[in-house]
Structure 1
Amino acid sequence: MYAPYDFRLEEVPVPETGDDDILVKVGGCGICAGDVKTYHGGQRVWGATPEQAFIEAPCIGGHEFFGTVEKVGKNVKDYKVGERVLAEQILPCGECRFCRQGHYWMCQRHYIYGFKHDAEGGFAEYMNFHKGSVIHKLPDALTDEQAILVEPYACGMHAVERAEIQYEDVVIISGLGTIGLAMVCAAKLRSPKMVIGLDLRKNRRDKAKEFGADLVLNPADDDVNEIIKNLTGGYGADVYIEASGAPASVSQGLNLVANMGRYVQFGVFAKDVTADWNIIGDTKHINIYGSHLSGHCYEPVIKGMINGTMKTEGILSHKYALEDWKEAFETAEKDPSAFKVALLP
Structure 2
Amino acid sequence: MKFVLVAVYYNNKEIPVEEFPMPEIGEEEVLLKVMASGICGSDVLEWYRLPKAPRVLGHEATGVIEQIGKKVVSNLKVGDRVFVSHHVPCNACVYCKKGHHTACETLHNTNYFPGGFSQYIKVPKINVQLGIYKLPDALTFEEGTFIEPLACVARGQRLVNIQKDDTVLIIGSGISGILHVQLAKFKGAKKVIVADINSYRMSIAVKFGADYAFNSDDSLPQKIKALNEGRLADRVIVCTGATSAVTLSTACIEKGGTILFFAVPEPSVKIPLPLNQFWRNEITIQTSYGAAPNDLEEALAVLATKKLDVKNMITHRLPLREAQEGFRLMTNNGESLKIIIEPNNPNL
TM-score category by the smaller chain? Answer: 0.7 to 0.9
Partner of 2:346: none
Give the match for residue 49 of structure 1. none
CA displacement at 1:279 relative to structure 2:
4.7
Distance 1:227 1:330, change over 3 A: same
2:26 and 2:92 map into 1 onto residues whose CA distance is 20
Which residue number in structure 1 is paired with residue 25 of structure 2? 17
AA matched with 1:225: P
Q: Does 1:179 align with 2:187?
A: no
1:305 maps to a residue whose letter is L
Deviates more, 1:147-156 or 1:244-253: 147-156
1:8-40 Cα deviation digits (max 9, x unpaired): 4211111110122111000111111211123xx
Structure with the higher fraction of residues in helix conformation: 2
121, 125, 130: which one aligns with 1:127: 121
Match of 1:212 in 2: 209
Partner amino acid for 2:121? M
What TM-score do you get using the length of structure 1 for normalisation?
0.87
Amino acid at match of 2:22: V
Report how far residue 90 of structure 1 moved.
Answer: 1.3
Deviates further, 199-208 or 312-321: 199-208
SS at match of 1:12: strand
TM-score by length of 2: 0.86
Matched, 1:32 2:40: yes
Using the alignment, how far apart are the partners of 1:330 and 1:177 within structure 2? 15
Select which of 183, 190, 198 maps to 1:201: 198
The corresponding residue for 1:338 is: 336
Deviations 1:96-120 (A, max 9, x none): 322455543332244367xx6x653
Checking the alignment, whether the CA contact within 8 Å between 1:94 and 1:132 is kept in structure 2 is no
- Unaligned 5+ runs, structure 2: 1-7, 344-348
Counterpart AA for 2:243: P
In structure 1, the residue matched to 2:135 is: 138
Counterpart amino acid of residue 337 in structure 2: F
Aligned-residue CA RMSD in angstroms?
2.3
* Secondary structure class of the residue paired with 1:90: coil
| Residue 103 to residue 19, structure 1, CA distance change in 2 (3 Å) | farther
- Tell me if structure 1 keeps the 8 A contact 2:83–2:145: no
Offset at 1:250?
Answer: 0.7
Q: For the residues of structure 2 that align with 1:2 and 1:326, how far apart are their CA atoms?
A: 9
SS of aligned partner of 1:11: strand
Quick check: 2:143–2:311 contact (8 Å CA) kept in 1?
A: no
Percent identity, please. Answer: 31
